[in-house]
Amino acid sequence: MAHDHAHTNQANRTRLTIAIAIIGTVLIVELVGAWLSGSLSLLADAGHMFSDLTGLVIALVATIVAARPATDRQTFGYQRAEVFGALINGLILVAVAISVLVEGISRLITPSEAEVQSGTMLVVAIIGLVANVCALLVLRGGKGTSINMRGAYLEVLGDMLGSIAVIIAAVVIMATGFVQADAIASLAIAAMIVPRALSLLRDVVRVLSESAPADTDVKEIREHLLGTEGVVAVHDVHVWQITSGHPVFSAHVVVEKRVFEDGATGALLDRLGSCLHDHFDVEHSTFQLEPEEHAAHEDTHHA
């Protein structure tokens, strides 16, 4: 399993490096295009792309840090670095959305007197769209492996939608001369950023607050363990995540007296661990086996 995680981590680094090269190149093109065309939506998309680039760099650094081995001080290793990377990405997305929202509203209330060069705006937006599609294809394979990679994928996905909004605005301006379409497109970009940012931050809070993973049913886990031969009761159950996709489980398991008398505790631990791994994809589980008479000494508030 450690080898699989190391392989996944290395693959994610490669994905992020390629995406950074693509996004960094197109960011320069969009900034120049926004300056030449006078388009706020293109500038907003460039700002969003800059946040993407920053987020991708943070994600890359986080994957490198997360690959460091565990120590006596960091007993779970540095995997949670990916969560902090996702947190920074989410905050950057919120900041970009607010700045674009303020400027977009300002331009709607007081339209800019400068002419928007819709032709330049359209060409640059198309280049941005193609680049974002390429970056998405690169990152798609890693988006399910960690919250950090999901954050990177969502940032680029939002930027792709932003490029589409700019293209639509450019076509509207070319066809009708309605220059406010540029400001409206920038507001649409901001509106697309916010839900993704909040979704990412919600997942980060869930991990940092050590809540049970959203797709984990603690009751179902308890029932599975109770179905193991020799198990009488299960209490003091805890399920949390070091980072997304890496759940951790611990529980006190009350077992029949004969399990201790027959020296079968090792075999029972193997069955319990296999139950968690095979049915719930939990690689790290800890069980405290207790005889029935010991359970009466436990605190009553245990789950």
| pTM flag (> 0.75) | no
Average pLDDT over residues 43-71: 75
Which residues, other chains included, contact 214 with Cβ-Cβ below 8 Å and sequence gap of 6+? 206
Angle in degrees, CA 41, 46, 48, rounded to 5 = 95
* pLDDT at residue 150, as a whole number: 76
Q: State the Cα–Cα distance between residues 235 and 84, nearest whole angstrom.
A: 31
Is 130 a residue whose pLDDT tops 80? yes
pLDDT band at 33 (very low <50, low <70, confident <90, very high): confident
Contact by Cβ (8 Å): 170, 121: yes
- Band (pLDDT 50/70/90 cuts) for residue 3 is very low
User: pLDDT digits over 158-183, tens only?
Assistant: 778 878 888 888 898 888 888 888 88
Beta bridge partners of 285: 249
For residue 164, what pLDDT is reported?
Answer: 87
Residue 238 pLDDT greater than 70, yes or no: yes
For the cut 50, the answer to whether the pLDDT of residue 189 exceeds it is yes
The per-residue pLDDT for 160 is 83
Q: Would you state the pLDDT for residue 254?
A: 92
Cα separation, 212 vs 235, in Å, equals: 15
* pLDDT grade for 1, boundaries at 50, 70 and 90: very low
pLDDT at 253 over 80: yes
What is residue 17's predicted lDDT score, i.e. its pLDDT? 86
Structure confidence at residue 301 (pLDDT): 47
pLDDT at 250 over 70: yes
pLDDT at 56: 79
So what's the pLDDT on residue 163? 83
Q: Rounded to an integer, what distance in angstroms lies between the CA atom of residue 60 and that of residue 12? A: 8
Q: Work out the average pLDDT over 243-265.
A: 85
For domain 2-208, say whether CATH 1.10.10.370 is its number: no
Q: 90-101, pLDDT tens digit by residue?
A: 888 788 788 878
Please determine, for residue 300, whether its predicted confidence score (pLDDT) is greater than 60. no
In this prediction, residues 150-154 reach a mean pLDDT of 77
250: its two tokens = 């611990």
Report for 22-26, 57-61, 77-81, 281-285: range of highest mean pLDDT: 22-26
Average pLDDT over residues 202-211: 84
Domain ranges in the chain with CATH number 3.30.70.1350: 218-295
Length of the chain: 303
**Cα–Cα distance, 211 to 196 (Å, whole number):** 20
For CATH 1.20.1510.10, the residue range(s) in the chain are 2-208
201: its two tokens: 């931050």
> What is the reported pLDDT for 252?
92
Q: What is the mean pLDDT of residues 18-25?
A: 87
Sheet of 284-291, strand order: 231-241, 247-255, 284-291
CATH among 3.40.430.10, 3.20.20.70, 3.30.70.1350, 3.40.1160.10 for 218-295? 3.30.70.1350
Q: Which residues, 6 or more positions from 218, have their beta carbon under 8 angstroms from its beta carbon?
A: 212, 237, 239, 303
